Structure 1
Amino acid sequence: MSLYRTELRRLAKRRFTRYMSLLGLLVLAAVVVGVFFTNQKIDADQLARAERQADQQHQEQVRWSEQERVACEQAKAAGTPNDGRYPDDCSVITAPTRDQIDAQWFLPSTFEFRKTFDETLVPFAAILALVGFVVGASFVGAEWSTGGMMNLLLWRPNRLTVLFNKLAALLTGMLAVTLPAAVLWFAGFWAVATFRGSTEKMTSGAWQSFALTGLRGVALVLVITTIGFALASLGRHTAMALGGVVALMVVGQFGLGILLAMANVRFAEAWLLPTYAIAWMTKKVTLQDYQVCNANYYGECKPATLDITWQQSSVLFSVGVVVILGAALWAMRRRDIS
């Protein structure tokens, strides 16, 4: 019997795998339903109502500015100290023009597929990556803790072959969950945009961009799943992976973030892993340092910036997978099975 098919069947039969996958899919469904009920389709009546509210807001601003200008002139004529409430020249107190008050501010939330869908792929990848990490860690961790790995190696003594087949079965199972979920995610938000927003201006380029972002999301899920599997194999227990990631997030990320902030390190977010995960999904994250001023020819002061790109993220994730998985393979080959 094929070891790969055996491991794939073992993965599918595990109740923990089924429950975690179902929980992840239910969370994704809850996100789609939540977005559906918190958005509305904009019609002509709502646009007209928003224009009226913008007009009303403009009129209120005009009345307020006139009252403040009169009060400023009275205070100036009376010689009353204003304690910085009014400017020296009362004529500068003017209301904003009508075109500065956008009617879009008064419209309800609406889901525009082309503008918004790209943002939804980040939580999609994050939720399934968490599921993959926990399932991957428990899949091999349970084998070590229950003694199943030792029994398996009596049947197939080639240690690396056993571990690679387990990993291949795990990644196949995650693909079997992630790819249909991605299709349903696209379809669900297309339905949201159809009934609660807009699907206009969708071009082949936009579809291609969404598809590439979705593929990067699938790759991120597989990478995180592999890391969870390798950590649990390295520590020979599920708790090794779960404890390691908790320690990394609490000590290595939050603690490091606080330390960098206290030390006033420039672009402190560049040292944090979530920044690279977001950059991988969105193609680029621009960090800003407001302590540094770059003046331009117009006298405008802009903060210094640092771009984190998806290429840099890919290098970091590749090195991480190679190091952690390589350590797990080395430990599997060198240590005694007991």
Structure 2
Amino acid sequence: MSLYSAETRRLVKRRFTRYFTLGAVVVLAAIAVAMFVTNQQIGPAQVADAKAHAHADYQRSVGEAADFKKRCEAAKGTPDASQFPPSCDDLGAPTEDNFDPQWYLPATFDFKKKFPDLVTTLAALLSVVGFVIGASFVGAEWSSGGMANLLLWRPQRLRVLGTKLLAFLVGLTGLTVLLSAAWTGIFALVARYRGTSASMTTGAWKSLAIMEARGLALVVVAGAVGFGLASLGRHTAMALGVAIGVAIVFQFGLGTALALAKVKFAEAYLAPLWIEAWMKQKFVVEDYDACNFSGTNGCQPDTFTITWHMAGSALLAAFVVIVGAALWTIRRRDIT
């Protein structure tokens, strides 16, 4: 059996890999079921019901307005007059245009509008899965002594670690592609029976496919970073500790410090916005402390746009630095 086949088999056979992946699938299934249950397909019956509710609310509001005006007239010359406007004639009645039937329609699943957010949700969840499984896959080998034993009969350090990483990333890619296809198909069915996908043109499908490809890249980078950190620290806890530290210190702590220091575009230093920029092509950070006055638009805040090119460069840098460091250190450090 080749080294790649052995590592692939090891990855698939690990109970942690199976159970953690199963947990993610259960979460995704719960989201899909919730979206199916809480949405409805809009038809003539729903439109008629919404119009009836809008008209009923309009009539009720007209009655309440008339009653309030009568109480205003009756209160003139009494201590209660202070509770009403000086002139009761200023009290107007609502018009039926104030009650749009669209507000009374039930929630419906518009595939083009809502599915991109669900693609981001899938990518985020699978990134966590990839990070943790990647860290565990190599971290358990180091902490249990399995890596040292493996290198006894395969004393090629870079080849062993590189093959283990390759097997993991290929498996993670396959899992992501499979779940992405299932995710798309499930919500296409949700749109068919609980909403609409009528606005999905060929261009919209291409844009969606590109977004899912960016999600795949995010998952692969997250998995490689988890793998690399655990290899550097020779323990799964190393990767998890770094992740927790980054979240607490560099995200919440840094965000609070920058906000207190009134740093311009403080939000631009937070990783989640860069991930969102990567998935949605851009993210605009606004500085409301600055005002660019316009005679037509009034006060406009300064803006800073995080583009997908910038976010992609950051992901690539993280991949190269951490994986490169892991490969370099296995050449230099003792294995014991």
Give the alignment's TM-score, normalised by structure 1: 0.91
Which range moved further: 135-144 or 65-74? Answer: 65-74
Which range moved further: 309-318 or 222-231? Answer: 309-318
- Residue aligned with 1:185, SS: helix
- How many angstroms apart in 1 are the aligned matches of 2:259 and 2:192? 44
What is aligned with 2:247?
Answer: 249
**Counterpart mapping for 1:159-170 below 5 A:** 159-170=157-168
**Counterpart mapping for 1:182-193 below 5 A:** 182-193=180-191
Which range moved further: 308-317 or 139-148? Answer: 308-317
What is aligned with 2:11?
Answer: 11
What is aligned with 1:34?
Answer: 34
What is aligned with 2:335?
Answer: 337
- Residue aligned with 1:285, SS: strand
- How many angstroms apart in 2 are the aligned matches of 1:195 and 1:299? 42
Aligned residues: 336
- How many angstroms apart in 1 are the aligned matches of 2:93 and 2:324? 66
Deviation at 1:180, TM superposition (A): 1.0
Q: Which amino acid aligns with 1:294?
A: N
CA contact (8 A) 2:72 2:81 kept: no
Deviation at 1:70, TM superposition (A): 7.3
Confirm whether residue 50 of structure 1 aligns to residue 50 of structure 2.
yes
- How many angstroms apart in 1 are the aligned matches of 2:263 and 2:53? 45
- In the superposition, relative to structure 1, how do residues 314 and 97 fare at CA in structure 2: closer, same or farther (>3 Å)? farther
- How many angstroms apart in 1 are the aligned matches of 2:224 and 2:197? 36
CA contact (8 A) 1:21 1:177 kept: no
Give the alignment's TM-score, normalised by structure 2: 0.91
What is aligned with 2:260?
Answer: 262
Q: Which of 122, 125, 146 is the matching residue for 2:123?
A: 125
**Counterpart mapping for 1:272-283 below 5 A:** 272-283=270-281
Deviation at 1:222, TM superposition (A): 0.4
- In the superposition, relative to structure 1, how do residues 256 and 232 fare at CA in structure 2: closer, same or farther (>3 Å)? same
- How many angstroms apart in 2 are the aligned matches of 1:125 and 1:303? 31
What is aligned with 1:153?
Answer: 151
What is aligned with 2:192?
Answer: 194
Deviation at 1:40, TM superposition (A): 1.1
Q: Percent identity?
A: 49
Q: Which amino acid aligns with 2:51?
A: E
Which range moved further: 147-156 or 283-292? Answer: 283-292
Encode CA deviations 1:190-233: one digit per residue, 9 max, x unaligned: 11111111121221011111111111111110010000000000
Deviation at 1:59, TM superposition (A): 3.8
- Residue aligned with 1:40, SS: coil
What is aligned with 1:102?
Answer: 100
- How many angstroms apart in 1 are the aligned matches of 2:298 and 2:87? 24
Deviation at 1:238, TM superposition (A): 0.2
- How many angstroms apart in 2 are the aligned matches of 1:4 and 1:71? 84
Unaligned runs of 5+ in 2: none
Deviation at 1:93, TM superposition (A): 5.4
CA contact (8 A) 1:53 1:106 kept: yes
Which range moved further: 253-262 or 310-319? Answer: 253-262
What is aligned with 2:301?
Answer: 303
Unaligned runs of 5+ in 1: none
Deviation at 1:251, TM superposition (A): 1.6
- How many angstroms apart in 2 are the aligned matches of 1:333 and 1:26? 40
RMSD: 2.4
- In the superposition, relative to structure 1, how do residues 93 and 165 fare at CA in structure 2: closer, same or farther (>3 Å)? farther
- How many angstroms apart in 2 are the aligned matches of 1:5 and 1:57? 67
Q: Which of 207, 217, 220 is the matching residue for 1:219?
A: 217
Deviation at 1:110, TM superposition (A): 0.7
Deviation at 1:61, TM superposition (A): 4.3
Q: Which of 300, 323, 326 is the matching residue for 2:324?
A: 326
